[in-house]
Amino acid sequence: GHTVILGRKTYESMDGYYNASGRQMPGAMYIVVSRNADFEPARDNATVVHSIDEALAKAKALGDEQIFVIGGGAIFEAMLPYTDRIYLTVVQTEAGGDAYFPKLVDSQWRELSVENHTKDEKNDHDYDMVVLERV
């Protein structure tokens, strides 16, 4: 598994996705960024930090070459300057929400690949898997 950086609300929203062993991804370590000094993660594969700088230092100390950032919007925005590659899922639908991926400056990114997927029994909407790399 890899190191995953995410915000507290995103971490809490994933509760139903954990398997019986309490792990979302085998071997993953979750670094939860929270302004709430009293927040304690419910699982042993998560640690809490209180700033992006702390999250980056913790991730570096873990020695993982690939670090995944999975939200929310403020975490995406704060981590974008440190990002070399983006694995982006673009769902072909209009949806409401309160967290959004930041707008990208096209001249800073090049598209490495796009995989188009058609809705099926597991997915209600068409979607594209896009890989972008910083220029």
pLDDT digits (tens, 9 = 90+) for 25-83: 566 899 999 999 999 988 888 999 999 999 999 999 999 889 999 999 999 999 999 99
Q: What is the pLDDT of residue 14?
A: 81
> What is the domain partition of the chain in residue ranges?
1-83, 84-135
Q: What is the pLDDT of residue 78?
A: 96
- Provide the whole-model pTM: 0.87
Q: What is the pLDDT of residue 27?
A: 67
CATH code for residues 1-83: 3.40.430.10
SS3 (DSSP) at 125: coil
Q: What is the pLDDT of residue 131?
A: 98
pLDDT greater than 80 at residue 24? no
> How far apart, in whole angstroms, are the C-alpha atoms of residue 122 and residue 109?
31
Asked whether the beta carbons of 49 and 58 are under 8 A apart, the reply is yes
Percent of the chain surpassing pLDDT 70: 91
Written as one letter, the residue type at 84 is: D
pLDDT greater than 70 at residue 21? no
Q: What is the pLDDT of residue 23?
A: 52
